[in-house]
Amino acid sequence: MFRSGFDRLKTYFRDYRLLGSGLVVAIVILVSVLAPLITSSDPNALNAQHRLEGPSTDFLLGTDSFGRDLFSRLVYGARLSLTVSLGSVIIGCLIGTTIGLVSGYSGGMTSLLLMRVVDLLLAFPTILSALFIIAFVGTSVTTLIITIGILFIPEFARIVHSSVLAVRELDYVSASRTIGNSNFRIAVRTILPNILAPIAVQFSMALGGAMILESSLSFLGLGPPPPASSWGRMISDASAFLRVSAFGLIWPAIAISLSVLAFNILGDAIRDRLDPRLRQ
């Protein structure tokens, strides 16, 4: 058993996509968690004497139009982006998985009604739906998490629904039904553990999508209100001063690109590892 586990661990380390993307994701998580230890500068401290400066010993990545340290704002922006992305995807995953599980296993009119509601949510463009909700509710971190979470419900519901349909008539489900287990126990204890692979893949990829959506809303001024540090807001603030200094746009753009790319590659790598048909 130990030898088999060790051989399996070695195959994971040989997967450079899994290793590289996992390393980038781990760095983003560590930076967001250890933000107060990584930088001692206040990300919101104004310094009119050092506006739009380039990288230096005093300001590692330069300063923005208000003289704020770009490195500190980038680090604390990672915390905000990861918090919003993780919180919203968890909400979307929990609610979407529940809807997909119930509709896929119950069938009939219940499945029809639930999936039509999901189709209705999918009919509206994601960014327009987010703009509509935030325009009425207001801007805050909590509002942003709930809004993005609602928008990710249909994706998880669809994936779980199709996965449940593929396994609900298999022998082990029929055996569980034959011995008298309740529908709730069959759905939660028998079906759900066997469809975790596509849920895990979707969870990883949804993190990248949620990060892009949060940055887009912050760029439009619908993210957390100032002076909260957000990668999207950093790009928005720097876009008016590109001819003077482009550093305020370059660093958050690189951070967003690398993070989203890492989450997407990690999702692909997880899918390949969990699906026996794709392991080769």
Cα separation of 114 and 161, whole Å? Answer: 10
Cβ atoms within 10 Å, residue 242: 11
CA distance 21 to 201: 14
Domain boundaries, the chain: 15-39+65-278
What's the CA gap between 64 and 165, in Å, rounded? 53
Tell me if residue 29 falls in helix, strand or coil: helix
Question: 15-39+65-278 belongs to which CATH class?
Answer: mainly alpha
d(CA 124, CA 199): 23
pLDDT tens, per residue, the chain with 280 residues: 444 444 554 555 567 788 888 899 899 999 888 888 888 788 888 888 888 888 888 888 888 888 888 999 999 999 989 999 999 999 999 999 999 999 988 878 888 898 888 888 888 888 888 888 887 777 788 888 999 999 999 999 999 999 998 888 788 888 888 888 888 888 888 888 888 888 988 998 899 999 999 998 888 888 888 778 889 889 988 888 888 888 888 999 999 999 999 998 888 888 777 765 555 5
Indicate the pTM of the whole model.
0.86
SS (H, E, C) 238-267: HHHHCCCCCHHHHHHHHHHHHHHHHHHHHH
Q: Give the Cα-Cα-Cα angle 205, 208, 210 (nearest 5 degrees).
A: 110
Report the C-alpha gap between 26 and 89 in whole angstroms: 18
Would you call 1 exposed, middle or buried from its count of C-beta atoms within 10 A (0-12, 13-18, 19+)? Answer: exposed
Q: Confirm if 215 and 239 have CB atoms less than 8 A apart.
A: no
- Encoded amino acid at 256, one letter: I
